[in-house]
Structure 1
Amino acid sequence: MGLTIVWHIGFALSLGLVDGIFGAVRSGGWLGIPSILIIHLCLQGLISGTFFVLLGARVRGIDPRTWSSRTVLEALLLLPAAAFMFSQLIHSLKNQFATALYNGLFQSLVALVGVGLTWLVIRRLLDHLPTQRLPSPRILLTVLGSGAVLGYGFLWWRRDLLFKEIDPWLPLAASLHLLLALAAQNRQRGIDWRAFVAPLAGFLFLFPASLLPGSQALTWGQRCMGCYVLPPLSQAFDRDGDGVGHILGGRDCDPEDPGIYPGAVEIPDDGLDQDCFGGDLTLGNQSAPKPSTRPFRSEALSQLVVLVTIDTLRADHMGLYGYQRPTTPGIDAWAQQGLVFERALTSAPYTTGAIPGIITGRAVSELRSALPDEIFRIPPSIPTLAEQFKAGGYETAGFVTALNTAKSYGYRRGFQTFAELTRQYADTAQSTVRRAQDWLAAYPTGKRFLWLHFFDPHAPYERYLEFDFGGSDLDRYDSTIAQLDRALSPLLRQLNEEQGALVLLTADHGESFGEHGHHKHGRDLYDPVMRVPLVVRGPGIESQRSRTVASTLDITPTLSSLSGLPVTHSTYGKDLSPLLLNGQQFPERMVFAEQDLNLPQALLGTAEHTLIYSLLTSRFELYSTQDSAQLRNLWGQQPNVDNRLQMEMAKRIDQGPARRRAQLLSRAVVKAVPAEGIRLDPPQRFGDRIELVGYRFWSEQVARERHPQFRLSLYLRAIKPLKKRWQIALGMDKGGRRSNLDHHLAQGNLPSNHWPAGRILHDPVKLGSLNSFPEGPAVFSLGFYAGDARLRPQTGSLAQTTSGTRVMLGPLPTP
């Protein structure tokens, strides 16, 4: 038994030390190692205690010389089965409870039963095998170890998991724990329920399912594994029920007020800092929008302006930015005669946020605050780059691939010639180049503006024999870039050398291949996704490399100015014409970016640093631009830099994301149900969370619409802070024809877990003209759901559906 204790404590200290060192190297916080060691020792103490309580004196100790072939074979069969079951449970049992701690316990208990039964089946099967014919333990252990090494090698090759980004310690530790547990209960015959419950309980306690992000790394997101234990524990000290604690890493700045926590929606001009960042948001003191300004030069730099955007192209996978593989030799040669920005950042890590920013100069929050009910559509009040060129007398054309929302989202506004070559995810570089050449031949002279959007580097990645770098995702990604370069570079040379065009080449975003535990794009703000190429070449632009940090939001004001057109105001974009023509540098320049598809984040980039702020956790990450892999978080080590960038970040967030959410909330909050609506007294409750205080079925005449447009207004109130993102389930039955109207309040821009408790929110649902529906009254059904969870309505004045999950509104006569 003593030997077993030594094994467990030694293993806990070893794993804790490795975990702590990796976390410290990447976060810079060496003082955290003792706390991480303590966490591992506590967890290992639970494991050891479980062994001794359940197995008692029958534990034989962990001596490899006592291992039997049967024990090793059990491990060989159980490990992959347990890993598969655990991974499935992690994904299938999400969000059953409001807090991660309860979710972890629930998932782990289910895993305990499931893996335990799997072990029981395996042992039953082995009872029918002749044990004398089994290979020796040494042979089986060799097979097990070799299989593990080959398995990791295969995963790294197929999934491009770089060792420096996704470490094998987590699954390796789980496997070793399970192997030690098997050895500790090594018995020659018979099955004791305590024998398989004990090691599984050890596996359970050390690796609670929901506390770790699935198959992510031990140091995923620059944090040590032990650090992931703290946030769920912090929720145990959540006194006000808003889901955020104030100790153990929790950043609730007012633990007594459920409406104040990181990520809360700011209520402007109320004297309170709801989101625990930057103080109270003040809308009344904001200045009026700035008018258009004069261009840097009165005459156009060139009669032909070409904007080339490439989907999913990382800057660091191009030769001109130091990449070793020959992916872009043609573009590299062309860029030698232009101005290359060493560091350019996109405004959003996904196409539907980045492309509007490129062609309008507006950030995501600016576009959505202007038109909150249309998440990605460019508002008619904001001119596009093509509209500006068309108004300036230019012939305009655009040829794009896979932008299948171009028409509905407003991308094609201002183009006299516009073509989507395909709406499929396909490589069409050669076809796009041919269409551009045909258009240039049809319009050989005069003022012209051309936009080309290439999709080729985007997944799925093709493998071209002429550029065969290998079979992994990253290899095939490079292959598609090389194929694109071959098709595009002749056109670039033709544009500049034969026609003297002003050409700007960039990308909407990059792509991740395991860095920081991420794959593809759209969910983070690290350099693999955010850093894009930006090259400008044209008459009067000298060949140079600029260290001024640039943004894709600079493209519209810069091209407008270089073409002698009025420069429309952009909160975050800047006219870079003085730099391009006169060499004027902007060393103190800061650029802003954001993403809100997952956990809202904001980025502030300078020539020396990148600051990333997570709005819902109030967590900062600061990286030096010299740290190309962004492995060391410098936050807290440079107070002067921290304070300066934090103040600027607060200013930018108040101008953008916080302002948009505050404006949405201001539009949604009402004092009471209007007199023309139907008030419910008492309100209709759904569970103990939400209540419907009233509703209204009405119509209005909208400009440019021939028929009246119908609306259903719902007046909702959160009884207490909501921890889930409840979706509104709404159905309509009119004359026997039904329609599904499920939605989020404000089209998802104001999720329910950000509703302020106690306030009435107005949710107007667009129904359209209803011309296709039969005459007669309308009946609506209303409920709330989040995944498989339902908020069941309580007994009230409204009738319920037969399922008991919705209430009926109506019949309501057509207004």
Structure 2
Amino acid sequence: MNSKPNILMLGLDTLRADHLGCYGYDRPTSPFIDKFAERSVLFERCISHAPWTIPSFTSVMSGLDPIRSKVVASPWNVPNYKPVRFDDTAPVLAEVLRDAGYFTLAIDNLLEMGSHPSWFVRGFHEYINLTDSMFLRHHHVLAEQVTDRMLSTNIQALDGPWFAFLHYWDPHLPYNYPKRYDAELPLWLPDAVSAPDGRDYLPRRGYADEISGQFAELIAQYDRSILYLDNELERLFSGLEMAGALENTIVVMFGDHGEAMVEHQVLFEHSLLYEPTVHVPMIVRDFRSGVTGRIRDLVQHHDVAPTLMALCGIEADWLTTGAVMPPFGPNPNRRFTVSIQDGGAAMRALRNERWKLIKHYDPRQSGLARPAALERVELYDLEADPFELDDISERLPDQVAALSAELEAWRLDALGPTEPDPLLDSEQRVDFNDYPGDPELAEFYRGLVRPGAKK
């Protein structure tokens, strides 16, 4: 057995936490993940740095939050969209592990996105790209393809430790699951609760009067995609266990961002900074120690790298903004998390144990080309209003002022007095009328996505 543990890191694209049984969902979407979580450490409140793939995975790999990595959006390949870049001299997880003697493997296609973010390839001895394009309908990488490729590697035969990063695109649109799952999870809607305005609200979905038959079916398709992913993860772990590849292995399983159903009039997309798009699963299992538990502490993606360094006993000259997640290290007592949104409208959200402040920046300040509401804020009491239905910013101006000051102090501490803010210095935007590639998928997005917080 190797002295250093192996690492299996599973990035599950577009997976919101509250559609998994282990996070309280009442549909059987995730029987394997639920059982796996019982033998793991589950972080109940992992908040994504951004509702987009590239910033989130960059934070995982770099150990930096977006304000330091400068990666604040996904590099869409559309006209007038600013390329997304990352410092070529900044270390990334695969490089640090490679230099520590690990064989490094990725099964992924992030390299194909937009302006080709090359930092996702750095440090990997082998980078297996399963597609020559993005996640468009006729190129979408199915979960079974990722599982098949990993099980064919014979990675357990290596003499030294290994690090494998597997990127599962499911349950991302266009919800490409085998049709047999239609019968396993039929159409279903939960009982309604009364929203503050008196309307019926369907938890984890949206207002009842806004959910048409088509939208109800799309929600069911999202859940079926999760069940399909769950079955493929079970097949992956069964194969690795039979091959003896798990005995000395640490597994990190996380979502990069979530997916809105019909909440806040964001339809089957992951823009904006509400809980459905930024509250993601984070599950860590160390097969060596068997440590288990449910952790309430606030964690984010930049915590993954320092946690793995601690678990593997690797000391590296690597300055990250993250911290070792409890119980694997001392409790950092994080007071709040910060998430960002770019790509059409610049926003930041500060979330603490109770309150959530969403700050919309004036587009004239940020230079964004797409029209948006002028600078304003939203405030939610997550204890009393977990679905973020009642914006109380006008009723609690003192609370808004206190949280705004905390957010601004955090920003200035990260940047200093003169460094430009990458979120506000950006020209990044998405115009779906110019969306390249599959016309059918482009039309699907144009028909469904209506960004904007409901007032």
Deviations 1:354-410 (A, max 9, x none): 11111112233322389xx97423221211110110111111000014651396432
CA pair 476-642 structure 1, distance change in 2 beyond 3 A: same
The amino acid that maps onto 1:662 is P
* Counterpart amino acid of residue 518 in structure 1: V
Q: Secondary structure at the match of 1:431?
A: helix
Residues 60-96 of structure 1 deviation map (CA, whole Å, 9 limit, x = unaligned): xxxxxxxxxxxxxxxxxxxxxxxxxxxxxxxxxxxxx
| TM-score normalized with structure 2 length | 0.72
Instruction: Please report how far the alpha carbon of residue 608 of structure 1 lies from its aligned counterpart in structure 2 after TM superposition.
Output: 2.3
1:92-241 aligned within 5 A: none
Residues 687-698 of structure 1 aligned to structure 2 (within 5 Å):
none
Question: In the alignment, is the contact (CA less than 8 A) between 1:464 and 1:479 conserved in 2?
Answer: no
Instruction: Give yes or no for the alignment of 1:632 onto 2:390.
Output: yes
- Deviation, 1:640, is 6.6
Letter in 2 for 1:634: I
SS at match of 1:380: coil
Amino acid at match of 2:264: H
The answer to whether the aligner puts 1:592 opposite 2:338 as a matched pair is yes
CA contact (8 A) 2:71 2:85 kept: no
Task: State how 1:748-763 maps to structure 2 within 5 Å.
Answer: 748=427
Residue 488 of structure 1, aligned match among 221, 233, 236 = 233
1:385 aligned partner: 93
What residue ranges of structure 2 are gaps of 5+ in the alignment? Answer: 73-80, 188-213, 363-373, 430-455
Query: What is the SS of the residue equivalent to 1:650?
Result: helix
Aligned to 1:459: 173
2:371 is equivalent to residue 613 of structure 1: no
> Which of residues 266, 277, 283 is equivalent to 1:535?
283
The whole-number CA distance in structure 2 between the counterparts of 1:600 and 1:661 is 18
Where in structure 1 are there 5+ consecutive unaligned residues? 1-299, 666-745, 751-815
> Retained in 2: the 8 A contact 1:653–1:659?
no
Matched, 1:400 2:108: yes
Instruction: Report the 3-state secondary structure (helix = DSSP H, G, I; strand = E; otherwise coil) of the residue aligned with 2:167.
Output: strand
CA displacement 1:246-296 (0-9 Å, x = unmatched)? xxxxxxxxxxxxxxxxxxxxxxxxxxxxxxxxxxxxxxxxxxxxxxxxxxx
Residue 569 (str. 1) matches residue 319 (str. 2)? yes
1:349-748 correspondence runs (5 A): 349-368=51-70, 375-401=83-109, 403-405=111-113, 408-422=117-131, 423-425=133-135, 426-441=140-155, 443-462=157-176, 464-468=178-182, 469-470=186-187, 472-492=217-237, 498-538=246-286, 539-540=288-289, 542-566=291-315, 568-571=318-321, 573-576=322-325, 579-581=326-328, 585-616=331-362, 617-626=374-383, 627-635=385-393, 637=395, 641-655=399-413, 662=420, 748=427
- Residue 301 of structure 1 deviates from its aligned partner by 8.6
Q: For 1:637 and 1:384, how far apart are their aligned partners in 2?
A: 44
Decide whether the 8 Å contact of 1:623 with 1:632 is kept in 2.
yes
The answer to which structure, 1 or 2, has the higher relative contact order (CA under 8 A, 6+ apart) is: 2
Task: Indicate how the Cα distance of structure 1 residues 384 and 546 shifts in structure 2: closer, same or farther if over 3 A, else same.
Answer: same
User: Per the alignment, do residues 444 and 350 of structure 1 end up closer, same or farther by CA in structure 2, a change over 3 Å counting?
Assistant: same
1:438 Cα shift? Answer: 2.4
TM-score by length of 1: 0.42
Change (3 A) 1:446 1:596: same
Distance in 1 between residues matched to 2:153 and 2:145, nearest whole Å:
12
CA change 1:598–1:749 in 2 (3 A) is closer
Q: Which residue of 2 aligns with 1:340?
A: 42
Residue 593 of structure 1 aligns to a residue whose secondary structure is strand
CA distance in 2, matches of 1:660, 1:489: 50
Q: Whole-Å Cα distance in 1 between the matches of residues 265 and 358 of structure 2?
A: 16
Paired with 1:561 and 1:660, the residues of 2 have a C-alpha distance of 34
Partner SS for 1:654:
helix
The alpha carbon displacement at 1:302 in A equals 5.0
Per the TM alignment, residue 521 of structure 1 is displaced from its structure 2 partner at its CA by 3.4
Instruction: Give the deviation of 1:635 after TM superposition.
Output: 3.0
**One-letter code aligned to 1:604:** L
- Please give the alpha-carbon distance, in whole angstroms, between the structure 2 residues aligned to 1:664 and 1:315: 28
**3-state SS, counterpart of residue 459 of structure 1:** coil
Alpha-carbon distance in 1 for matches of 2:278, 2:415: 18
CA shift for structure 1 position 340: 0.7
Kindly indicate whether residue 12 of structure 2 is the aligned counterpart of residue 310 of structure 1: yes
CA contact (8 A) 2:71 2:86 kept: no
CA contact (8 A) 1:377 1:408 kept: yes
Q: Secondary structure at the match of 2:60?
A: helix
Report the AA paired with residue 489 of structure 1.
E
1:519 CA drift (Å) = 2.1
Letter matched to residue 748 of structure 1: E
Which residue identity lines up with residue 29 of structure 2 in the other structure?
T
Query: Using a 3 Å threshold, how does the CA distance of structure 1 residues 323 and 660 change in structure 2: closer, same or farther?
Result: farther
Residue 261 of structure 2 aligns with an amino acid whose one-letter code is: F
Please report how far the alpha carbon of residue 580 of structure 1 lies from its aligned counterpart in structure 2 after TM superposition.
2.5
Q: How many residues align?
A: 367
Q: Greater Rg, structure 1 or structure 2?
A: 1
Distance 1:443 1:396 in 2: 14
Q: Distance in 1 between matches of 2:226 and 2:427?
A: 35
- In structure 2, the residue matched to 1:795 is none
Q: Secondary structure at the match of 1:554?
A: helix
Task: Give the distance between the partners of 2:4 and 2:240, measured in 1 at CA.
Answer: 11
Q: Is the Cα–Cα contact under 8 Å of residues 101 and 160 in structure 2 kept in the other structure?
A: no
Q: Could you say what secondary structure the match of 1:342 adopts?
A: strand
Provide the rounded CA distance (Å) in 2 between the counterparts of 1:663 and 1:619.
Answer: 18
Tell whether the 8 Å contact from 1:558 to 1:574 is kept in structure 2 after alignment. yes
1:171-230 CA distances to partner (integer Å, 9 max, x unpaired)? xxxxxxxxxxxxxxxxxxxxxxxxxxxxxxxxxxxxxxxxxxxxxxxxxxxxxxxxxxxx
Q: Any residues of structure 2 matched to 1:788-803 within 5 Å, and which?
A: none
Q: Is the 8 A contact 1:396 1:417 kept in 2?
A: yes
Q: Give the direction of change, closer, same or farther, for the CA distance of 1:378–1:348 in structure 2 (3 Å limit).
A: same
Q: Kindly, what percent of the aligned residue pairs are identical?
A: 27
Q: Distance in 2 between matches of 1:441 and 1:664?
A: 39
